[in-house]
Chains A and B, each alone.
Chain A
Amino acid sequence: MGLDPREPDGEAREMLARINETFARGIPHNRAMGLQILSISSAECRGRLPYKPELVGNAESGVLHGGAITALIDAVSGGAVFAAMRRTTRVATLDLRIDYLKPASPERDVICEASCYKLTRSVAFTRAIAHHGDASDLIASSAGTFMVMSDPRSGVAEAP
C-alpha cells in the first residue's frame, strides 16, 4: 500500500529513500547498528539489522544481545509511526514492551516488522515482531507507545 493512492510506488519509493537517508543513516545510533529500512507503507515499516560481531551478547555463543533487538524494535516501530503520519516528525518512545521468544541465530540478519495500528494527535500505538525471515518463527514480539510531537520545527529528521 502506498502513501498516495494516485502514485503509490513513486511516493513510497521516495519515502523509503528519505527515511533511509534521514533516519537509518542520519541517526547516529541507527547508523552504528547498521539498520536498514526495507519498506515503508501506510502505517507499516520493515527493517533489517545485519548480523555484526560487535552486537553479540556472548562471544562464546555468537548470539546477539537482547539490547540490539530492543534498539532495532524501537527504531522500526518509530518508522511505523512516521509511516502512519506520512512524515518524519519528532517522536519519542513512551513505553516499549518486548517479549523475547527465542534467541536470534548467530550469523543471521534480524528482520523487524512494525505497524502503527492507532494514531491520535499526541500518541501512537505500535506492534512489532522480529524474526529471521519467517514470521511464524519469532525471535521477539513487542508493543509500544510513542509521543508524537506536533511542532514540526522540532523534527528529528524533518522531511524537506
Chain B
Amino acid sequence: MTLLEAITRAREQGELSALIEKIPYALFLGLGAELREGRVVGTMRFSPMLIGNPTLPALHGGAIGALLEWTAIFDLLYRAETLRIPKTINITVEYLRSGRPLDTFARAEITKQGRQVASVRAIAWQTDPARPIAAANLHFLLQGLSPADAPLGAVPPHG
C-alpha cells in the first residue's frame, strides 16, 4: 500500500493502522492514533525509553513535542482536504506539567485552515484531558489540495 492509499483508507474507513505502519518514527516512539467520537486522538504508549528525567521520573520533552506534532498532522490528514503529509512550518510547545511514566494522549484542533497554511492547536494529557501536560501551536504548509495534485513521489519533509 502506498502512502496515498493509506491516507485515503484512513479517511474513508477510519482505518489508521496502515498509515501508522508507513512511519518508522511512530513505531520507534510507540505512537498511534485512534478515532474517538469522530475525532483523532493521538497516543504514545509508555515505554522506559521515553524517559527524559530518570529521577522524577518524567517523559522527555522531545517525545511529548513529537506526539503533539504527530497528532496535529494526523488530524489534518484526516480532516483537511489534503492527501499529502502537511509540512510543519513551526511548532511552539508549552510544557505545563511533567509527563509521568504513563500512556499519553493528544488531540488537535484546526484553529484556521487557509488555502496554503493551517494553524493548529494541540494538547497532550495523561489521565485527565482537563489537566494537560503540554500544549502546542503549530503552523503547517498544505500541499496537494486535491488528489490529482498529490503525486506520491514528492517528499513530505518532516512527516
Contacts and interface: CB of A to CB of B under 8 A. Distances in A.
A54 B155 contact: no
B66 interface: yes
B61 A57 contact: no
Contacts of A57: 23-25, 85, 156, 158-159
A54 B28 contact: yes
Interface of A: 26-33, 53-61, 63-75, 90, 92-100, 102-103, 154-157
B68 to A, nearest CB: 9
B65 A74 contact: yes
Contacts of A70: 62, 65-66, 69, 91, 93
Interface string B115-127: 0000000000000
B66 A71 contact: yes
B17 interface: no
B91 A58 contact: no
A64 to B, nearest CB: 7
Interface string B98-111: 10000000000000
Interface stretch (B8-16, B32-40, B51-59, B75-83): B51-59
B55 A58 contact: no
B52 A29 contact: yes
Contact of B23 (A58, A93, A99): A58
Given A29-B51, A54-B25, A55-B28, A63 B95 contact: no
A70 B62 CA distance: 5
A71 B62 contact: yes
Contacts of A155: 55
A30 to B, nearest CB: 7
A62 B158 CA distance: 10
A94 to B, nearest CB: 6
B22 A56 contact: no
